[in-house]
């Protein structure tokens, strides 16, 4: 057993990185490869209902996986192209998806055979070329000797850059042998070291700014999560006691039960006290920023200070000076060794805004509103929850909630592909099964978005993801679009479904369904101790008024319509 | 009213070409455009359940539309990328889909705003670049003055080349005005004329070959359908009385009730008498060939003659000589004026093989098999039926059936993306509603493929496509893959669904469901006159043994596995 097949080598590499579920669908150019999954103990083939959903599931899995990685296997042409939307989303949002495609045999490629799943023109590299636009790196493997190194290079880049990578693997190479000893040397996952001189200059300048600041704040965004800097951020808060805020995409990057957490900053769409706190600061330590429109209230940041330090995954910026290659993880670790001493001795921790987490009392028969739901929901969350919110009312509503300790928030604020969360929930739930089956995975999705990817609930049923709660916010169509344009337009309507029939349709084993429409029903549900125990798949259809929406979404929609019409 | 908006101009152009249903989903970069659909009388917005399905629906619609055209509207990034698989399929199989994408405003592009639905890198042309690989032509519109001509150019190319075209339309241009008089001049749909000299040489050479032939055959393939040459083919059969065969992809290109129709030729996978008839011919007139593996029995054509004439949409080939630019429609029309006179006076029409259309009698309780189903089904078809078969057992099984007059066959033999037919059925059914609501649209899809795109049945329910028959062949997983590799492998299993619950889930208005598993139940169903009347949506779940498959699929699968392993 000094040799193993290349196919097995690939899966052993995934297993070493705790990527133990592989998403995708079978196709005739990947079948022989799929055989190899079962040779690696502890690995499983998810077998999704379609490729787009598989891509979303892989993205969701990576956001829960300890290394921020996941894997997909699809087939040439018809399989892989259905992944482009999901992979572009992972690229956009910094998610490390290893995207392997089973392609026709070297011989068929050399002969330019007019195979099925081709464009009929003998071009076997066209799909690879398309994927290069949305991948950090790629390999179209042709030679068994270099294949292991090519696979390792792609996996390393997926980790280091937290972006998708593409591997094309011809069907005839899968069973070829490579030395087993290659597995003994683990893939190098070290980040590129910062240039010491640049880093020293960064640390000194930051410490000088800190020493002069009387009202500094920390603002944490998505890349702090994606590039695994949550521990450094937690330490920075502890050491400095500066008020900390997140962006919408940065939610769950910090412990929101920490008394120094001040809320979510979204520029002009922030709550007034949050806006005031952030914008009146005299120093902003920004970590992992991704300044997209929906993440910034349409670019409405209004800092009064010019003292801004931006820590990024590939550079640091201090005021107007850029330090290329000074990446945040190492820089923050270095800063943490001395930051405490640099704080102005006269600095008194300024108070942080409070978040309203209790609703104004209402009669039980009062119709439920988005405002009531998103205020109430924080009390039901518990430590370790994985909270997933769909682009639409949910992604905006969740901003006003308070997350529990060790929670993971998943929301596609930048890419914003509707339907994403149903697939992502499947992936996150399978990742949670591997880490701790008692962790709850809680989805909030609208009735419109649900329709795009509904069949992935079937995969959750297949794998008995009894840790999932599917809250379907039924507001009769695409409310987010109605707010932007066409409130009464027929194109924002959808065919109504009997959503609570979905779990029996998909042959769920242990399940529970409920429909709620009043304040009383919501309160009862969240007071029910049995409901809180993740021991079955649950779907709750939450009936809400069509044009009811979180206030921040209403404001964002107006800004978006304006941008769309601008010449 | 001497001016109209650019948005309306686009839809008026579609309406002129009888493209009266537009497929797609709303998104904030296309909402203002969608308003314009309702200004054009007789047009409708399909409002699909997801973009991939919308793309499949557009492909199916175009295959029924009299001009071979259809239209899609999606939104930038997240919407359009979900279409890549469908558009590549339309490219591969020669289908004229007009693929319009609503993109961010010119101003947002110029400022490189970090908008949602982008990769976060300010690159607004990346998706357009990806689509260029799978589009005949494209336009990324930036200027209102040239916009109408650009739209017209793309539509013309979709028609002439029968391939998808891409139009990127910024949200701020939709409401800008263009002269209404532009609509008075219709889009030029004339094909490029053949070079007279080349054409004369082609006709003379073909006629010489015909005059010398004693056993010529006509072999008709997909491009004869896609490039609208069915009338010319019918005339050629009538004039010559040569035996005529089709390929699997060419099925429905000729009237199969014509006594000169001899069956389906698939190389070595043909029925022996068909193989013998075609391969012993001393002249083959091949029309619109697309010689892919599944269309040719893995390239196993075994003609004995070297006298082969290939008519294509952009060239003609006679023996080894190529005549670039001599396209088949004009060349065939020219040939038809004189072909009768060129036939060898001694030519006696040779008999054609017969197709077995009656089953060996079996007891009513006999479990149903693929063989019985595909033999029996011909008797239930009737004039005008649109018959859609999914890649898998259905696409192979249908080869042994006999199609009725004026039928349309839809099957994605070359591209072969599973799940395609559910979307295509939605599009075909909506096209049929416009042409003649009494035409039946009959789908055969496997239980595995159905899962990929199931939600498009909801769109059929919304539009009350009561002309549809959905036969779900339930053989417990991906049988076509099991035949190729991994018969018992878990990756070829699927989560079983209660398929007959789908129509009530989707709130179908008038519907009927049935499950059949025996010969007697099938015979009763096809004898039931009420069942044959297309007055509701029907789903019939046909229970079949897991490894039961049409003989031609079993043989093809073996050849495919061999190709995949070849080095």
Strands (E), A301-378: 308-311, 315-318, 321-324
Q: Determine the distance in angstroms separating the CA of B117 from the nearest CA of chain A, rounded to an integer.
A: 4
> Which residue of chain A has the CA closest to B295?
A116
Name the pLDDT band for A60 (thresholds 50, 70, 90). Answer: very high
How many distinct helices (H) and strands (E) make up chain B? 22, 21
How does B28-67 read in b/e, with b if 16+ C-beta sit within 10 Å? bbbbbbbbbbeebeebbbbbbbbbbbbbbbbbbbbbbbeb
Which tokens sit at A542? 């939450």
| pLDDT score of B1 more than 70 | no
B39 assigned to active site = no
Q: What does the alpha-carbon distance between residue B416 and residue A116 come to, in Å, rounded to a whole number?
A: 6
| pLDDT score of B356 more than 90 | no
Q: Could you give all domains of chain A from N- to C-terminal order, each with its CATH number?
A: 1-182 (3.40.50.970), 194-339 (3.40.50.1220), 368-563 (3.40.50.970)
| pLDDT score of B383 more than 70 | yes
Report the relative pairing of strands A44-45 and B321-324 from DSSP bridges: unpaired
Catalytic residue numbers of A, as ranges? 28, 51, 116-117, 416, 447, 475, 477, 481
What three-state secondary structure class fits A446?
Answer: strand
Name the pLDDT band for A290 (thresholds 50, 70, 90). Answer: very high
Angle between helices B420-435 and B51-62 (to 10 degrees): 50
Answer positive or negative: Cα dihedral of B42, B47, B52, B56: negative
Set of chain B residues whose Cβ sits within 8 Å of the Cβ of A292? 114-116, 118, 120
Q: Are B70 and B427 in contact (CB under 8 A)?
A: yes
Q: Are B444 and B373 in contact (CB under 8 A)?
A: no
Q: Choose the catalytic residue: B239, B273, B481, B524.
A: B481
The predicted pLDDT at position A566 comes to 81
Distances (CA, A) of A530 to A525, A526, A533, A534, A539: 9, 10, 5, 9, 14
**Whole-structure pTM value:** 0.97
Closest alpha carbon to A565 in B7, B105, B30: B105
Q: What is the pLDDT of residues A410-432, one digit of tens each?
A: 999 999 999 999 999 999 999 99
Lowest mean pLDDT of B93-107, B255-269, B291-305, B531-545, name the range.
B291-305
Count of residues in chain B: 567
| pLDDT score of B72 more than 80 | yes
Closest alpha carbon to A13 in A184, A139, A190, A165: A184
Residue A255: alpha-carbon gap to chain centroid: 17
Task: Report A:170-229 residues touching B (Cβ under 8 A).
Answer: 171-172, 175
Kindly compute the dihedral angle of the four CA atoms of residues B259, B265, B268, B271, in this order, to the nearest 10 degrees: -30
Q: What does the alpha-carbon distance between residue B517 and residue B544 come to, in Å, rounded to a whole number?
A: 7
The verdict on B7 touching A (C-beta cutoff 8 Å) is no
Please state, as a whole number, how many other Cβ atoms lie within 10 Å of the Cβ of residue A352: 20
How does A439-464 read in b/e, with b if 16+ C-beta sit within 10 Å? bbbbbbbbbbbbbbbbbbbbbbbbbb
Label residue A336 exposed, middle or buried (CB < 10 Å: 0-12, 13-18, 19+). middle
> Residues of B forming the annotated binding site for Mg(2+)?
447, 475, 477
Answer positive or negative: Cα dihedral of B15, B19, B20, B23: negative
Q: Any idea what the Cα angle at residue A95 is, between residues A94 and A100, rounded to 5°?
A: 130
Q: Which long-range contacts (CB under 8 A, 24 or more apart) does A231-237 make?
A: A232/A328, A232/A329, A232/A332, A232/A333, A232/A336, A233/A287, A233/A332, A235/A336, A236/A285, A236/A287, A236/A332, A236/A335, A236/A336, A236/A339
Q: What does the alpha-carbon distance between residue B416 and residue B425 come to, in Å, rounded to a whole number?
A: 15
Q: Determine the distance in angstroms separating the CA of B288 from the nearest CA of chain A, rounded to an integer.
A: 13
Closest alpha carbon to A434 in A69, A7, A120, A164: A69
Can you spell out the DSSP letters for B393-418? HHHHHGGGS-PPTT-EEE--TTT--T
CB neighbours of A288 closer than 8 A, spacing ≥ 6? A220, A221, A222, A223, A224, A225, A226, A227, A229, A250, A253, A311, A312, A313, A328
Which tokens sit at B35? 């308003």
Q: What is the mean pLDDT of residues B392-396?
A: 92
Q: In what order do the strands lie in the sheet with B69-75?
A: B44-45, B21-24, B69-75, B96-103, B165-170, B137-140
Set of chain B residues whose Cβ sits within 8 Å of the Cβ of A484? 28, 31
Q: What does the alpha-carbon distance between residue A233 and residue A242 come to, in Å, rounded to a whole number?
A: 11
| pLDDT score of A191 more than 70 | yes
Q: What is the mean pLDDT of residues B280-290?
A: 96
Q: Choose the catalytic residue: B475, B499, B523, B552.
A: B475
The predicted pLDDT at position B298 comes to 87
Q: What is the pLDDT of residues A3-29, one digit of tens each?
A: 999 999 999 999 999 999 999 999 989
HEC readout, B222-262 = HHHHHCCCHHHHHHHHHHHCCCEEECCCCCCCCCCCCCCEE
Q: What does the alpha-carbon distance between residue B81 and residue A86 come to, in Å, rounded to a whole number?
A: 9
Set of chain A residues whose Cβ sits within 8 Å of the Cβ of B111? none
Please state, as a whole number, how many other Cβ atoms lie within 10 Å of the Cβ of residue B437: 14
Q: How large is the C-alpha radius of gyration of chain A?
A: 24
CA atoms within 13 A on the CB side of A260: 22
Set of chain B residues whose Cβ sits within 8 Å of the Cβ of A500? none
Closest alpha carbon to A49 in B57, B425, B483, B449: B449
Report the relative pairing of strands B165-170 and B244-246 from DSSP bridges: unpaired
The predicted pLDDT at position A297 comes to 87
Angle between helices A51-62 and A420-435 (to 10 degrees): 50
Q: What does the alpha-carbon distance between residue A252 and residue A99 come to, in Å, rounded to a whole number?
A: 26
Distances (CA, A) of B77 to A134, A266, A341, A558, B92: 11, 23, 47, 21, 22
> Which residue of chain A has the CA closest to B130?
A130
Q: Determine the distance in angstroms separating the CA of B323 from the nearest CA of chain A, rounded to an integer.
A: 19
Task: Report A:413-472 residues touching B (Cβ under 8 A).
Answer: 413-419, 451-455, 458-459, 461-462
Q: Are B309 and B209 in contact (CB under 8 A)?
A: yes
Q: Which long-range contacts (CB under 8 A, 24 or more apart) does A137-143 make?
A: A137/A165, A137/A166, A138/A165, A138/A166, A138/A167, A138/A168, A139/A165, A139/A166, A139/A167, A139/A168, A140/A103, A140/A168, A141/A167, A141/A168, A141/A169, A141/A170, A141/A173, A142/A106, A142/A170
- DSSP conformation class of A331: H
The predicted pLDDT at position A355 comes to 79
Q: What is the mean pLDDT of residues A391-405?
A: 93
Q: Are B456 and B49 in contact (CB under 8 A)?
A: yes
Q: Are A53 and A422 in contact (CB under 8 A)?
A: yes
CB neighbours of A561 closer than 8 A, spacing ≥ 6? A484, A485, B28
- E strand or H helix that includes residue A554: helix A551-565
Contact A294 B419 (CB under 8 A): no
Q: What does the alpha-carbon distance between residue B393 and residue A28 come to, in Å, rounded to a whole number?
A: 15
CB neighbours of B24 closer than 8 A, spacing ≥ 6? B30, B45, B46, B47, B48, B51, B54, B72, B73, B74, B79
Distances (CA, A) of B531 to A390, B405, B425: 42, 20, 19
Q: Are B83 and B52 in contact (CB under 8 A)?
A: yes
Count of A–B CB contacts within 8 Å? 308
Phi, psi of B183 (to 5 degrees): -75, -20
| pLDDT score of A506 more than 70 | yes
Q: Are A101 and A124 in contact (CB under 8 A)?
A: no
User: Which of A54, A75, A78, A458 has the highest number of chain B CBs within 10 A, making it the mutation to test binding with B?
Assistant: A78
> Residues of B forming the annotated binding site for pyruvate?
28, 117, 481
Task: Report B:233-272 residues touching A (Cβ under 8 A).
Answer: none
The predicted pLDDT at position A126 comes to 97
Can you spell out the DSSP letters for B170-207? ETTTTTSEEEGGGGGS----PPPPPPHHHHHHHHHHHH
| pLDDT score of A1 more than 70 | no
Alpha helices in A406-550 (DSSP H): 420-435, 447-453, 456-462, 479-484, 502-505, 519-527
Per the listing, tokens 């036969």 go with: B471
The predicted pLDDT at position B562 comes to 87
User: Which of B505, B506, B507, B541 has the highest number of chain A CBs within 10 A, making it the mutation to test binding with A?
Assistant: B505
Which tokens sit at B164? 């998808």
- The ipTM of this complex is 0.96
């Amino acid at each position: 057993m000094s040799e193993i097949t290349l196919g097995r080598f690939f899966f052993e590499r995934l297993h070493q990185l705790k990527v133990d579920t592989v998403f995708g669908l079978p196709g005739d150019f990947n079948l022989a490869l799929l055989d190899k999954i079962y040779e690696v103990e502890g690995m499983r083939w998810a077998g999704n209902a379609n490729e787009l959903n598989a891509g979303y599931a892989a993205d969701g899995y990576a956001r829960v996986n300890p290394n921020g990685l996941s894997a997909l296997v699809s087939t040439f042409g018809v399989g892989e192209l259905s992944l482009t939307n999901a992979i572009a989303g992972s690229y956009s949002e910094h998610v490390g998806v290893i995207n392997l495609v089973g392609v026709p045999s070297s011989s068929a490629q050399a002969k330019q055979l007019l195979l099925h799943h081709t464009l009929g023109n003998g071009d076997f590299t066209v799909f690879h070329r398309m994927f290069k636009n949305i991948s950090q790196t790629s390999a179209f493997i042709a030679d068994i000797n270099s294949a292991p190194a090519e696979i390792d290079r792609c996996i390393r880049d997926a980790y280091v850059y937290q972006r998708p990578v593409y591997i094309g693997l011809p069907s005839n190479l899968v069973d070829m042998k490579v030395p087993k000893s290659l597995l003994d040397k683990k893939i190098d996952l070290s980040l590129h070291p910062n240039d010491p001189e640049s880093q020293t200059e960064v640390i000194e300048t930051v410490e000088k700014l800190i020493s002069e600041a009387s009202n500094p704040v920390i603002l944490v965004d998505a890349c702090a999560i994606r590039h695994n800097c949550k521990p450094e951020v937690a330490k920075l808060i502890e050491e400095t006691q500066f008020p900390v805020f997140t962006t919408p995409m940065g939610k769950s990057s910090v412990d929101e039960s920490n008394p120094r957490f001040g809320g979510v900053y979204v520029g002009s769409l922030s709550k007034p006290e949050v806006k005031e706190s952030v914008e009146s600061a005299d120093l902003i330590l920004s970590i992992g920023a991704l300044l997209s429109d929906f993440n910034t209230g349409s670019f409405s940041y209004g800092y009064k200070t010019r003292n801004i330090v931006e820590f990024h995954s590939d550079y640091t910026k201090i005021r107007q000076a850029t330090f290329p290659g000074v990446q945040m993880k190492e820089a923050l670790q270095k800063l943490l060794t001395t930051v405490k001493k640099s704080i102005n001795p006269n600095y008194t921790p300024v108070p942080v805004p409070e978040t309203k987490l209790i609703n104004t009392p209402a009669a039980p028969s009062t119709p439920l509103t988005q405002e009531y739901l998103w205020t109430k929901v924080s009390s039901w969350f518990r430590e370790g929850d994985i909270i997933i919110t769909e682009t639409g009312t949910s992604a905006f509503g969740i901003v006003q909630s308070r997350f529990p300790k060790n929670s993971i928030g998943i929301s596609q604020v930048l890419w914003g592909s509707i339907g994403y969360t149903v697939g992502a929930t499947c992936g996150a739930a399978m990742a949670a099964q591997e880490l701790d089956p008692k962790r709850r995975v809680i989805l909030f999705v609208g009735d419109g978005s649900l329709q795009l990817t509904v069949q992935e609930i079937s995969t959750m049923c297949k794998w008995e993801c009894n840790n999932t709660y599917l809250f379907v916010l039924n507001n009769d169509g695409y409310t987010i679009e109605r707010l932007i344009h066409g409130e009464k337009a027929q194109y924002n309507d959808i065919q109504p479904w009997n959503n609570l029939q979905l779990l029996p349709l998909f042959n769920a084993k242990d399940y529970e369904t409920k429909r709620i429409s009043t304040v009383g029903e919501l309160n009862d549900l969240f007071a029910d101790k049995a409901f809180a125990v993740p021991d079955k798949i649950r779907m709750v259809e939450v009936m809400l008024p069509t044009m009811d929406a979180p206030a921040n979404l209403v404001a964002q929609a107006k800004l978006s319509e304006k941008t769309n019409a601008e010449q």
